[in-house]
Amino acid sequence: MKIKVTSIYVDDQEKALGFYTEVLGFTKKADFSNGPFRWLTVTSAGEPDGIELQLALNDNPAVKTYQQAIFKQGQPALMLFTDDIKGDHERIKARGAAFAMAPTEVTGSTIAQLNDTCGNLIQITQLARW
């Protein structure tokens, strides 16, 4: 088995698509609707056949409550990894993203956190090179 798709809940799929593609640099992979349901995924630009991230609408009250609670606690809903956290921080910040935490060294890595404007904190991590 392997992981092919994982999901993050968003309060506005169109806004999320703009953020994840225009600000973070992902590529839209799938986008189709069936009635009120919209299946929308993005993937890493450098790995178009890699793992897809579904931008799922948080239209379920339980999901919305969960999403709001982890955001309020400062818990990231998604962790992304990079080899150049400082460069990515500057690039993403220049595209208008609001960082809750600038790149900060912690045990074994450097992390930064930003608001995806759709109800989530995103953590970017660069693992330490020993």
76-97 tens-digit pLDDT: 999 999 999 999 999 999 999 9
Phi first, then psi: give them for residue 47, nearest 5 degrees.
Answer: -135, 70
- pLDDT given for residue 75 in this prediction: 97
- pTM greater than the 0.85 cutoff: yes
- pLDDT given for residue 130 in this prediction: 63
pLDDT bin (cut points 50, 70, 90) of residue 129 is confident
How confident is the model over 11-39, as a mean pLDDT?
97
Q: Considering the chain, what percentage of its residues have pLDDT values greater than 70?
A: 99
Distance of CA 107 to the CA centre of its chain: 22
By DSSP bridging, strand 109-115 and strand 121-127 are: antiparallel
Instruction: Look at the chain and report how many structural domains it folds into.
Output: 1
How confident is the model over 61-86, as a mean pLDDT?
96
Q: Which amino acid is at 32?
A: F
Mean pLDDT of the chain: 96
Q: What is the CATH number of the domain that holds 89?
A: 3.10.180.10
- pLDDT given for residue 120 in this prediction: 97
CA nearest to 81, candidates 23, 129, 126: 126
Distance of CA 28 to the CA centre of its chain: 13
Strands (E), 5-46: 5-10, 27-34, 37-43
Q: Residue 46's domain spans which residues?
A: 5-127
How confident is the model over 8-29, as a mean pLDDT?
97
Structure tokens that stand for 112 in this block: 């930064």
Asked whether 124 and 23 are in contact (CB, 8 A), the reply is no
